[in-house]
Amino acid sequence: MHGLHLTADLHDCRCAMQWLIDAKALGAVCRKAAATAGLNPVGELFQSFPATAQGPGGVTATVLLAESHLCVHTWPELRAATLDVYVCNVGANHSPAAHALMDCLISLFEPQRSELNALQRGALTPDDKPTAFAPHAP
C-alpha cells in the first residue's frame, strides 16, 4: 500500500467558468491529463450538481486509475476547487506522474491562492515508516 497522496485546495480560480460547472468537459480534461501524465484511466464518474441560491451547481469528476485515483470537486459560487491525486507505488514509482497530473490541473484552474499537501502513504517494508513531506515545487 505504499503510495503518494497529493491534495490541493484552490481558491479564487480565474479559469473559464466551464471548468467549474461542466462535468463532461472537466471529466474529459481529467481523463486526458491523467493519460498524458503516464497514468492509466480504467473508470470514471462525472457528476453535476443543481444550482442553488448562491449560483450554478458544481461538479465532481472522478477518474479511477490503474494506479489509484483522481478526484476533483468544484464550487463555482466560490470560484474554488479541490484536487485529490493518489498513486500506489508498489511495483513502480508513479510519483512523478502524480505530480505532473496535479501541476496540469492546477494550471487549468488558475488559482490566485492554493494550499498544496503531499503525504507519503504506507511503507515498503515493515521497517519503513510513512512520512509527511513538502509538496512538489514547480
Residue ranges making up the domain that contains 69: 3-133
Whether 118 maps to a domain, the answer reads: yes
Catalytic residue among 2, 73, 95, 104: 73
CA distances from 64 to 68, 70, 97 (A): 6, 7, 15
Catalytic residue among 5, 68, 94, 99: 68
Number of domains in the chain: 1
Taking only the tens place, the pLDDT of each residue in 29-38 is 999 999 999 9
Listed residue (79, 80, 3, 82) closest to 39, CA to CA: 3
Told to judge if 73 belongs to the known catalytic residues of this protein, a careful annotator would answer yes
Q: Is the pLDDT of residue 55 over 70?
A: yes
- Give the side-chain half-sphere CA count within 13 A for 24: 0
Whether 138 maps to a domain, the answer reads: no
Whether 63 maps to a domain, the answer reads: yes
Whether 10 maps to a domain, the answer reads: yes
20: domain CATH number?
3.60.90.10
Q: How confident is the model at residue 128 (pLDDT cuts 50, 70, 90)?
A: low
Taking only the tens place, the pLDDT of each residue in 70-124 is 999 999 999 999 999 999 998 899 999 999 999 999 999 999 999 999 999 886 6
Told to judge if 136 belongs to the known catalytic residues of this protein, a careful annotator would answer no
pTM of the model: 0.87
Told to judge if 104 belongs to the known catalytic residues of this protein, a careful annotator would answer no
Whether 59 maps to a domain, the answer reads: yes
